[in-house]
Structure 1
Amino acid sequence: MNPQTWIASGHLGGFSDPLMDCKECHERFRADKIIEDYMQENSIAMEGSVDAWSNEEMSTYIEEHNICCPSCGKHNFTEIRQFNLMFKTFQGVTEDAKNTVYLRPETAQGIFVNFKNVQRTSRKKIPFGIGQIGKSFRNEITPGNFTFRTREFEQMELEFFCEPDTDLEWFAYWKEFCINWLKDLGMKEEEMRVRDHEQEELSFYSKATSDIEFLFPFGWGELWGIADRTNYDLTQHMNVSKEDLSYFDDEKKTKYVPYVIEPSLGADRVVLAFLCGAYDEEELEGEDVRTVLHFHPALAPVKIGVLPLSKKLADGAGKIYAELSKYYNCEYDDRGNIGKRYRRQDEIGTPFCITYDFESETDGCVTVRDRDSMEQERIKIGELKTYFEKKFEF
């Protein structure tokens, strides 16, 4: 995108994290994360977020509590300084200021600068939203925890445009919507929490922000942020570009710059959260352990496993597989005993397995096994499509 976009949005001036170095091992860290990890390890209650602290407040806390380097264990840090997270490069062969460009740190700004185009061409009336999924890039100081914090990630953002003075109502609506969406897809209530940002920790563009956090194996981490961005972004782009991004309400005969509610979700993070929440090692009778992914059926990558009891039954099982594959991602497996095949499907989170046995040849029925309860029931082959339509409803 044009570099002026990032000047208008405030990212070039204010999109940064507090950075400090260990003088002993020369590792670099985010000062706020070191403090948060220290608090978590020592069960220290924290009011608000360290994000709201100044560099001086963070330095004082690190000194007073003698917090040591996570890598070498020494207490010898440089002064904290702000580090801009945007990736900078050059367009073309000449590396000068005129050819400087940046990789986008979020998808939102592309939506804002195209607001008028989308509104006019789609003839939308406010309130309405524009959603986008795509790559974002941030030069993270300390990437880690598998795919939780990376420098390149997939971002899902919705910019919901609404009338001024209705923004807080829509903010509450989208917060509740996002929480319910996660719950409906099987996320447990005890693994989720909502943290409302204190006034002093709000981003420069935000009137209100709430984070939906998930309890990962490494601790609580932000999953989904819902922010009331007011009319900050559209106003900033209007000021810099001199283009009119206001909206005229034909019914009320009023003109205004819309307010924006933004639910922003990291696709990589929510996938990691669902994986962590679904993974289980169940102890069965006889000291047997079953590894299983308890995915919600709508999320499972493989929906149905088709398992002929014998390779001699391949024709009948193959017809069922071919028919159901028109509607669902299915897997056909005829190798090994049936118990091991069930276990393989459990490990990849397949919610249902169809066993085609010798009786199926005569009675026209198959056995459907439920992944979670391991219960089995006989279903007529001609009714399988209807049966699974109900099972996969969301």
Structure 2
Amino acid sequence: MATQEKTPVENAQLKDIISHAKEYGFIFPSSEIYDGLQAVYDYGQMGVELKNNIKNLWWKSMTQLNQNVVGLDAAIFMHPLVWKASGHVDSFNDPMIDNKDSKKRYRADVMIEEKAAQYENEGDVERAKALTAEMGRLLEAEDLNGVRELIIREDIKCPVSGTANWTEVRQFNLMFSTQVGSVAEDASTIYLRPETAQGIFVNFLNVQKTGRMKVPFGIAQIGKAFRNEIVARQFIFRMREFEQMEMQFFVRPGTEMEWYEKWRDTRRKWHEAIGVPTDKLRFHDHDKLAHYANAALDIEFEFPFGFKEVEGIHSRTDFDLTQHQELSRKKLQYFDNDLNEEGKPYGNYVPYVIETSVGADRLFLMVLCSAYTEEEITEGDSTKSRTFLKLHPALAPVKAAILPLTKKDGLPEKATEIFDSLKYDFNMIYEERDSIGKRYTRQDLIGTPFCIAVDHQTLEDNTVTVRDRDTREQVRMPISELHSYINKAVSYRSIFEQLA
């Protein structure tokens, strides 16, 4: 039983997934020809398709299924006072500790959480809760010396050196700063946004008034965020440049818990609807709430390195809008004339906010880990292993592959004709190299749901053989039915119906 979270090198399953992601064009180390840049990755030709499909599905799930949720795309650079109001300038810190022997730096709170997870895995749940609670108390009191003593008392050692020769615990601000201005001495310090939520809050009234929105309503956004993570690891799970998909839902004060529970359940159903096994998901309620929240939980997925947060659901109260209102001296209030219809006096109020925040990169990794499948198959008298990506067809980078059986006898021309008839509606691949079996295998490895074989019978009766990725079963059908057959499988409709 592990005592620390395993690194990619130590975790065989994650190592295989990372290798697969690179070999088949999903994820590349950034600047690899220059030996890369730690915790920064590029999405390859298959990865960008999968990530775009994930983002598009999330976007439509928010804005298309909910008439009271609209979209926004705020700038990465924002006025520095935005981050003063949000608390990031003064308190967006991680407690860091260094091992004097290995010279490695770690997040002190993460090391303690890993120790608590070890106790929980060993069945000592009460000890795990007590350790987590004590850490929360020390961090809330800003007792960094107490945090160090807790690490020493729990005999937490550096996984590299194996020693407990620790430095003092220090706070490290995670925001990237830069200068804006044409002349150095006139430049002002601004920040790369560490989260996308603040762009929504400062545009609250712009969206509400121009869209004539009535509370309750939500604003959704997908965008890049940046955090100077000292401890960046576990592949794309924790990166310095990442993408967030957030929705801030503005509600009447006093109704926030009702909406908190609604979005909690809706978001879990969404993860299940895209094919994530139910037993791989769990809710984790926050023991220690952030200063702005009155309720918070994480939706966690069981990665190869353990259960970790994929999405956060938070009841943020009126903290953000109130902070921006006070510092900007601009009213960020909503006039609720529906109150009069309910027999209550008209009035302005600062709405409360329910937040759903999911990392696109973590979601990508969750989907990849869920889809990565190794199985034993029997063919005749022999048994062999098979690896494929069991992606939901709606998310798969390529929806179908057109494969002429040979490169002659008019089969390529017929296959090209079929490809051209489908390419306007689906992302397709045409391939004629190697045996049909090898081509099936290549498509399995990138998660293509359907392979369409064009053979000599196709020239006679306009039928093709369609192979299913998951079952490997093959069916014969007319070319005229291909579009509806593929569309039914890859459409978002089946997912939306589960959320209705």
Amino acid at match of 1:250: N
User: Which residue identity is paired with 1:278?
Assistant: A
Aligned pair partner of 1:375 in 473, 476, 498: 473
| Greater mean alpha carbon deviation, residues 26-35 or residues 326-335 | 26-35
Relative to structure 1, the CA distance from residue 67 to residue 94 in structure 2 (aligned partners, 3 Å threshold; closer, same or farther) is: farther
Matches within 5 A, 1:278-317: 278-285=371-378, 286-312=382-408, 313-317=411-415
Q: Could you tell me how far apart the structure 2 residues matched to 1:53 and 1:274 are?
A: 35
CA distances 1:177-220 after superposition (whole Å, capped 9, x unpaired): 1111110000011211110112xx11111111110011111122
1:26-65 correspondence runs (5 A): 26-41=103-118, 43-44=121-122, 45=125, 46-47=128-129, 49=132, 52-54=136-138, 55-65=144-154
Query: Which residue, out of 347, 361, 370, partners 2:459?
Result: 361
CA displacement at 1:387 relative to structure 2: 1.5
Which of 169, 177, 181 is the matching residue for 1:92?
A: 181
Counterpart of 2:290 (choices 195, 203, 215) is 203
Matched with 1:11 is 88
Tell me the TM-score normalized by structure 2.
0.75
2:425 corresponds to which of 327, 331, 350? 327
Alignment match, 1:233: 320
Find the aligned partners of 1:180 and 1:94 in 2 and give their Cα distance.
Answer: 52
Distance in 2 (CA, whole Å) between partners of 1:100 and 1:155 is 24
Does residue 273 of structure 2 align to residue 184 of structure 1?
A: yes
1:88-127 counterparts in 2 under 5 A? 88-92=177-181, 99-127=188-216
Task: State the one-letter code of the partner of 1:108.
Answer: A
Q: Name the stretch that deviates more: 285-294 or 235-244.
A: 285-294
Shift of 1:91: 2.2
- Residue 264 of structure 1 deviates from its aligned partner by 0.4
Residue number in structure 2 paired with 1:349: 447
Secondary structure of the equivalent of 2:353? strand
- Specify the code of the residue in structure 2 equivalent to 1:21: D
How many residues were matched structurally?
A: 392
Find the counterpart in structure 2 of residue 223 from structure 1: 310
Q: Partner of 2:355 in structure 1?
A: 262
C-alpha distance after superposition, 1:158-194 (max 9, x if no partner)? 1111111111111111111111111000001121111
**Larger helix percent:** 2
Query: How large is the RMSD of aligned CA atoms in angstroms?
Result: 1.8
Distance 1:306 1:357 in 2: 11
Q: Mind listing any 5+ residue stretches in structure 1 that lack a counterpart?
A: none
CA contact (8 A) 2:181 2:187 kept: no
- The sequence identity of aligned pairs, in percent, is 49
- 8 A contact 1:90–1:96 mirrored in 2: no
Task: After superposition, give the CA deviation of every residue in 1:5-40 in whole Å (9 maximum; x if it has no partner).
Answer: 111111112211111111223221101111223344
Deviation string, structure 1 residues 46-88 (Cα, Å, up to 9, x no partner): 2284762423553233122221112211211112122221112
Cα pair 2:145 2:168 within 8 Å, conserved = no
- Give the gaps of 5 or more residues in structure 2: 1-77, 139-143, 340-345, 493-500
How far did residue 96 of structure 1 move?
7.2
Q: Could you tell which deviates more after superposition, 119-128 or 43-52?
A: 43-52
Change (3 A) 1:9 1:134: same
Q: Which residue of 1 aligns with 2:221?
A: 132
SS in 1 for 2:236: coil
More displaced, 21-30 or 89-98?
Answer: 89-98
1:165 paired with 2:258, answer: no
Say yes or no: does 1:69 pair with 2:167: no
Match of 2:370 among 265, 277, 287: 277
Task: Tell me if structure 2 keeps the 8 A contact 1:161–1:261.
Answer: yes
Matched to 1:373, the amino acid is: T
Q: Provide the C-alpha distance between the structure 1 equivalents of 2:149 and 2:383, rounded to a whole number of angstroms.
A: 53
- Between 1 and 2, higher relative CO (CA 8 Å, sep ≥ 6) is seen in 2
